[in-house]
Amino acid sequence: MIKHSLKQLAAALAAKQLSSAELATLFLDRIEQLNPRLNAFITVDREKSLAEAKAADARLAAGETAPLLGIPVAHKDIFCADGWRTTCGSKMLANFVAPYDATVIARFKAAGTVSLGKTNMDEFAMGSSNETSFFGAVKNPWDEAAVPGGSSGGSAAAVAGRLAPAATGTDTGGSIRQPAALCGISGLKPTYGVCSRYGMIAFASSLDQAGPMAPSAEDCALLMNVMAGFDERDSTSLPREKEDYTRDLDQPLAGLKIGLPREFFADGLSAEVAQAVEAAIAEYKKLGAQTVEVSLPNMGLSVPVYYVLAPAEASSNLSRFDGVRYGHRTSDYKDLLDMYEKTRAEGFGAEVKRRIMIGAYVLSHGYYDAYYLQAQRIRRLIAADFATAFKQCDVILGPTAPTPAFDFGEKAADPVAMYLSDIYTIAVNLAGLPGMSIPCGFSDNGRPIGLQLIGDLFAEAKLLNVAHQYQLNTDWHTRMPEGLK
């Protein structure tokens, strides 16, 4: 049952082969057994989860039908969920219990899904390895000496280890796609504005986007049908007609034009990843797709641009955490300013402090024009590069990450090396485009390798189709770690 797709689980529930409460219990038992090893979950509340499952069973018994009714889902601990501790992986919010639901959470509740708990993450979504969480690092289920990627590493590890059949994540510079690649699952970062950010604790508001994480593209399409949609409470939400993201899954790929950016296959890409991606390209050619070389000439600037813009927005967004209204407050202070300083010094970890300081610097008088404004100009150029490329192709294909999962501590002392692990994903966020990672192989030491697919604005259904057709002809997405079966 733990290897069933969402569609198979829904069919089993509809056929009364098991109840939602029994299904939730199965996964809650796996969490209890395996989470001490993987540290994928921060908060689990069996009583709350089983109450939601029993409510779903009542809806099923009344004859209600919905694609995800009664299905258990894990949620990244960046989404506020009414009555659940919502920490954002930080000491600052270690005891914060959300008083309301994020729109994404509310939509999953309305669809009748069952929350299995809140998954671990890099503190305030700042990281590429899940080593910055106040609650400890998440282990990669394929190799517990390796990082799972970040910041949605807890969600990726939970799905890869089958502690949950699916999970939510967020992606600011690759935080769904990179951990999906490193853990051997599928993950989709939608077009900016397609999924509501209301109730999603902000890191960089112009880049953050919620998305689904699951074993397969088909599962991600079902999750997107629940998550996506206009929300008047989010000023960045786009007023668009509701889509069925499963509608094109079975379309053949004959005549599909796949763009291969020369910048994705240059220095820095490991031989193992390059070999797996080349094999995936050969598979797509068998399915009738054609390849064309394209160029993204400003992609090399995406990392420095991101690490100007994202910290600038973070320094503003995180100013609210001051010990006055909610979250951590220092116990020993002389006056209000002393309380602010000590609270933030105690509540934030080193990576968060680093980014706040960078952000405050680039926004300061005398440096705004030189750094922040210049970065915004280059961001426009990066978006224009993609627009030009999509005149020549339907989707862009390349590696998700330059290497398979790296060992714990390997890059922790070198922030720049850590930042470069997102070199292939960041440009997608800067341009607001949809991007997806799917598994396409393994390294010599058994660590997963991810294939990235990038689409034009609102091309999620196309990406899911391209990914699904590949997965119908390969089995990388069906594999799971031997030690966790």
> What is d(CA 62, CA 484) in angstroms, rounded to the nearest whole number?
36
d(CA 422, CA 209) in angstroms, rounded, equals 16
* Both structure tokens of 210: 């919620």
Q: Which residues contact 391 (CB under 8 A, 6 or more apart)?
A: none
Q: Yes or no: say if 128 and 150 are a contact pair by the CB < 8 Å rule.
A: yes
- The contacts of residue 58 (CB under 8 Å, 6+ apart) are none
Sheet of 186-189, strands arranged across: 41-43, 114-119, 72-76, 167-171, 209-214, 186-189, 435-442, 448-455, 395-399, 257-261, 290-294
Query: Where would I find the H helices in 249-407?
Result: 271-286, 302-317, 336-347, 350-362, 374-389
DSSP state of 201: P
Q: Which of 76, 118, 139, 189 is catalytic?
A: 76
- How far the first Cα of the chain sits from its last, in Å, is 11
- Say if CB 204 and CB 188 are below 8 A apart: no
- The alpha carbon of 184 is separated from its chain's Cα centroid by a whole number of angstroms, namely 13
Catalytic residue chosen out of the listed positions 19, 49, 129, 175: 175
Q: Is 372 helix (H, G, I), strand (E, B) or coil?
A: helix
167 pairs with which residues across the strands?
74, 213
Q: How many residues does the chain have?
A: 485
Q: Establish whether 175 is a catalytic residue.
A: yes
Beta carbons of 213 and 184 less than 8 angstroms apart: no
Determine the Cα–Cα distance for residues 432 and 435; give it in Å rounded to an integer: 9
Helix axes 302-317, 374-389, angle to 10 degrees: 130
Catalytic residue among 19, 151, 152, 302: 151
Clarify whether 152 is annotated catalytic. Answer: no
Look up 76 and say whether it is catalytic: yes
Report the relative pairing of strands 186-189 and 435-442 from DSSP bridges: antiparallel
CA 458 to chain centre: 18
* Catalytic annotation, residues: 76, 151, 175
